[in-house]
Amino acid sequence: MDIKTTCLAILSRGDASGYEIKKTFEDGPFCHIQDAGFGSIYPALGQLRDDGLVTVTEMSQNGRPGKKVHAITPAGRMALVDALAEPSVPDRFRSDFLFRMLFAHLISPNHLEATIEARLSDLREAVVRMENCACSNTIEPSEKFVNGMGLSVYRAMIDYIEDHKIELIGATLLAGAAQ
């Protein structure tokens, strides 16, 4: 999904500054499925304002740098609904970990095992975070759906790695001995 529509979507859930939109990508319900940096968000918000899809109110707080609160307009809501009706583009998954696993025979067995354990640890941490998120009080059906999907996928990954890591490390050891 393009950044402008993504910003509109986040603003449809409540007013926000650019900084708060960025935080939503880090902690919020989007954190596993979308991302954007300041270098994308600020220009996108500027264009949305120029197009009349959001309004900006500068709230200069005592001392702190003035927060620019963005609010979605009726035209913005219409643009969002239109964008959501377009056919979705295919998902994109980029895995540095799996790429390295394809070349396991070029990694030392010790380092290979450490890489696998680090990945398992990261995945288990992600599961705990998502489980806590799911427990929180007022979770909407759509968020529950997406959250549950993420949990299923992460658990499938953990189970698979636990079941097959010995196999991969063993094969790598044999390949090394054969050289």
Per-residue tokens: 129: 């975070």
Asked whether position 94 contacts a copy of itself by CB under 8 A, the answer is yes
Stretch 27-56 residues interacting with DNA (CB under 7 A): 35-40, 42-44
Q: How far apart are CA 108 and CA 176, in angstroms?
A: 9
In the complex with DNA, the residue whose CB is nearer, 22 or 119, is 22
Q: Which does 135 bind (CB under 5 to 8 A by kind): a copy of itself, DNA, none?
A: none
Asked whether position 20 contacts DNA by CB under 7 A, the answer is yes
Stretch 112-141 residues interacting with DNA (CB under 7 A): none
Asked whether position 63 contacts DNA by CB under 7 A, the answer is yes
Least distance (Å) between residue 109 CB and DNA: 29
Contact status, residue 68 vs residue 58, Cβ threshold 8 Å: yes
Q: How far apart are CA 91 and CA 1, in angstroms?
A: 10
Least distance (Å) between residue 41 CB and DNA: 8
> How many C-alpha atoms does 106 have within 13 Å on its Cβ side?
5
Q: How many residues bind DNA (CB under 7 A)?
A: 25
Q: How many CB atoms lie within 10 A of CB 67?
A: 16
Per-residue tokens: 136: 């929180």
List of residues 6+ apart from 54 with CB closer than 8 A:
7, 8, 11, 45, 48, 70, 71, 72, 73, 76
Note the residues at the interface with a copy of itself (CB under 8 A).
Answer: 1, 6, 9, 12, 29-30, 32-35, 80-81, 84-85, 87-108, 111, 115, 118-119, 122, 141-143, 145-146, 148-149, 152-153, 155-157, 159-161, 164, 167-168, 171-172, 175
Note the residues at the interface with DNA (CB under 7 A).
Answer: 2-3, 17-20, 22-23, 35-40, 42-44, 61-68
